Amino acid sequence: MNIVSIVGKSGAGKTTLIEKLIKELKRKGYIVGTVKHTHKGFHMDKKGKDSWRHRNAGSDATLLIAPGIIALVKDEELDVIEEIQAYLSDMDIVLVEGFKRENLPKIEIFRSDGDHKGPLCMDDNNLDAFVTDSDYAPDVPRFGLKDIDAITQFIEKQYLKV
């Protein structure tokens, strides 16, 4: 399984880029998983619903099943990369949003019109590509914000070995 982290500062367009890459990779026949990093935690269920009640009572894992969809909420102590591998091992590629400090291959998106002083990963040895409309030019392949076909081809060659 190939894991690639799409990184950038808030508002840079990480989610939009991932959406476009998912569509293009799926169109090419790949099985694509995604992971969204959140610092705030999350709740999939509303207070008082049965699955919330199960977790509130102490269940270590709750699997929600409906026609055509499964969701798992599980207390886990694995490292981030181990968790991704454990739960998404049947994917051809996993695009993760965030995890800028993890030891993962990274594609950074940086917009010149943002309030940010500079890119995040210019000195990160895991930076494999840079997507931007700015003049920054790290020593990795550089793509424009709308170069989805070229970025997808890069992902295929770099991580999927096509």
- Report which secondary-structure segment, H or E, holds 57: helix 50-57
Query: In the numeric block, which tokens belong to residue 135?
Result: 């003049």
Q: Please, what's the b/e burial string for 101-111 (b: 16 or more CB within 10 A of its CB; e: otherwise)?
A: ebebbbbbbbb
Q: Percentage of residues in the chain with pLDDT exceeding 70?
A: 94
What average pLDDT score do residues 104-126 get?
Answer: 90
**Amino acid (1-letter code) at residue 56:** N
Side chain identity at residue 82, one-letter code = E
pLDDT at residue 67, as a whole number: 86
The whole-model pTM stands at 0.85
Residue 116's pLDDT band (cuts 50, 70, 90): confident
What's the maximum distance between 2 C-alpha atoms anywhere in the chain? 54
Whether residue 91 has pLDDT greater than 80: yes
**Domain residue ranges in the chain:** 2-42+76-159
Q: What is the pLDDT of residue 41?
A: 61
pLDDT at residue 86 in the model: 84
**Per CATH, is 2-42+76-159 categorized as 3.40.50.300?**
yes
Q: pLDDT grade, residue 47 (50/70/90)?
A: confident
